[in-house]
Amino acid sequence: MSAEEAHELGRDGVFRVKQYLEGTTHLRLPWTAYDHVNLCKRQRLDGSKKTYDLAGHFLGERRRPLFVEAKKYTTAGAQGTLYLEYIADVYSITARAQREEMDDGAEFMWITWHPFSQGAWPRLLSHEYVYEAVEKHVDSLQLGGGDGNAESAEPDKELCRTVADRLWLVVLTDRQQEELTLTAEELKLAMMHLKREGA
């Protein structure tokens, strides 16, 4: 097996993740990058768009949008590096939303079959880690807004805290999904009766 395992999830994989997450009964994820790519995108500071595998929102009192990046690795692979880039993207997207006064509280989830960055594992959702990730990508993120102002090219600590609050990290295994969840029929019944707000 090569060090960099292909992480292409494929349609099957994306749907498995969708099923697992919707099976928690707390999420609705109607949009997939395969069929509704426009609704799976968010815009970064530099105007470019980042596409996520799945998009939808939480059910309940606060109907927060959720974007999901799914990684089916059989080894840790390059997840560590990719995860940093992913966080930087989240920061950029949130920064842009706030700048445009269009921040809808969107949250972001990294869901993987293989843990990574074990040394940093406990910190992966902390605002310090966000700061580090953004620092590493300062140039590509064009934090200065392109106006060449070196001062504003530093990550905003407040924003880092905000972003950290909006991050999710989930580790999944096949068997966990197949045998530790309700059956499809049970979930169907549950969803029809639960009446969670925001459905």
Partner 1 sequence: MPETSLQNAVASALISDNPDDVIEGIKGAVIAELEKLDPSAEIKKTDYFNHSFAPDLVLSWGARQDREVYLRYNFRSTQAARDVDLLGGSNPVFFSLDSSHDDSEVADELEGEIERSPNALVTNAPSIDEFAEFDNLKLVRESVAAPLFDLFRRNVVRGGKGLIISQTAADLPRYRGSDNLGQDIDYIDRFESTVSRLFREDASLRLRRAASIVRMARTGDIEMLHADEDGGENLVRGKLETDEIRILLPYLLRRAQEEDESTFWEYIGSMVGLKEIQKISAELEEVDIGSLVRANLHYWRANRSAVSLNSEWFDEEEHPEPRWYIHAKMLTASAGPWTVHFTTDKRQASGRDDSPLARWEDLRPALSGSAVSSAELQGVVRRISVSTNDESSDVLRDVDSIFETMDDDFKLRRLSVRGTVAGASDVDVDFKHNTAEGNDAALVDLARSSFDILGYRYPISEGERVKIFGEQSERE
Q: Which of 32, 79, 94, 112 binds partner 1 (CB under 8 A)?
A: 32
Position 176 contacts partner 1 (CB under 8 A): no
**Residue 21 CB contacts under 8 Å (≥ 6 apart), including other chains:** 27, 29, 54, 68, 109, 111
Give min distance, CB of 177 to partner 1, in A: 11
C-alpha distances (whole Å) from 58 to each of 28, 35, 48, 116, 179 are 6, 20, 26, 26, 23
Position 177 contacts partner 1 (CB under 8 A): no
User: Shortest CA distance to 79 belongs to which of 115, 129, 127?
Assistant: 115
- In a 3-state reduction of DSSP, which class is residue 199? coil
Residue whose CB is less far from partner 1, 70 or 84: 70
Site string for partner 1, 41-70 (x = CB under 8 A): --------------x---------------
Site string for partner 1, 12-31 (x = CB under 8 A): x-xx--xx--xx----x-xx
